[in-house]
Structure 1
Amino acid sequence: MFARPVWVALGALSLGLGIIGIVLPLLPTTPLVLLAAFCFGKGSPRLRLWLETHRTFGPPIRAWETTGAIARRHKRMALGMMAVTFCIGLILALPTHVLAIQAVCFLGAGTYVWTRPDA
């Protein structure tokens, strides 16, 4: 579908956003790193191997791909950030429909994350 350089560029973009997500709570780090691994797998086996063997990013990628598992501390962090984001919406007095959409999305995403096996 895409040429190899496009996959590499998408992987680099995903990884860059994932790294930014480490310090910026609105960007989900783990899904972006998983997306980067997928893109690198399509575009550059060398970059895919580098990401899989990376000290920080490798273990979550391997856990997800082998068992669909997420580390308990990452689950707590994700759920905590969802709660904090929802509370910020309450403090900012966002319109009710926005809060409702946010609540439904966070409940769905939170349920999915919490029900994955522990890594």
Structure 2
Amino acid sequence: MDPQNLHNPVIRYVLIAIGWLAVVLGVIGIFLPLIPTTPFLLLAASCFAKSSTRFHDWLLNQPHLGPYIQMYLNGKGIPTRAKISILVVMWLSMTVSALLFGKYLAVRIIMFIIACGVTIYIVRLPTLTLVEKTD
């Protein structure tokens, strides 16, 4: 389906708006532990694929996020280094957040459950083996 030929322009603009909101939330999720980055970026890619070729291409060609989205969408997974980085940053930020903001035990337990769930998800993703180029 060509996004430019979407019959209803209102739906097209709503999808674009949802896509941009998802991009913003995904970028915020890089820095805040309770907001998941990957699902929002995948939602943005899906919305843009159905509404705007230009925005879809822009997202997939981003130097830092684009390759990971493309590898994920193609079922190739993510590199080991990325998995380790994701998990280390997430657990550090969750620990700091729990110590600083987790006044109630229930909040700390919920944060721990979220961290465990994300860890299981990341570990179960296929691991991409990068091939080094030799000259």
TM bucket (normalised to shorter chain) is 0.7 to 0.9
Aligned CA-pair RMSD = 2.4
Paired residue for 1:47, among 55, 61, 65? 55
In the other structure, the counterpart of 2:70 is 62
Shift, 1:106, TM fit: 1.2
Mapping for residues 1-119 of structure 1, pairs under 5 Å:
3-22=11-30, 24-26=31-33, 27-67=35-75, 69-88=77-96, 89-92=98-101, 94-119=103-128
Q: Structure 1 stretches of 5 or more lacking a match?
A: none
Deviations 1:42-75 (Å, cap 9, x if unpaired)? 2112211222233332211111111151232322
Question: How far apart in 1 are the matches of 2:88 and 2:117?
Answer: 14
* SS of match in other structure, 2:78: coil
**Which residue identity does 2:51 align to in structure 1?**
G
Shift, 1:93, TM fit: 5.3
**Which residue identity does 1:99 align to in structure 2?**
R
**Which residue identity does 1:117 align to in structure 2?**
P
The verdict on how the C-alpha distance between 1:99 and 1:80 changes in structure 2, with shifts beyond 3 A counting, is: same
The verdict on how the C-alpha distance between 1:54 and 1:87 changes in structure 2, with shifts beyond 3 A counting, is: closer
The verdict on how the C-alpha distance between 1:68 and 1:35 changes in structure 2, with shifts beyond 3 A counting, is: farther
- Percent pairwise identity: 33
Shift, 1:113, TM fit: 0.6
Question: How far apart in 2 are the matches of 1:52 and 1:86?
Answer: 29
Question: How far apart in 2 are the matches of 1:72 and 1:79?
Answer: 11
Larger Rg: 2
Q: Structure 2 stretches of 5 or more lacking a match?
A: 1-9, 129-135
Higher helix share: 1
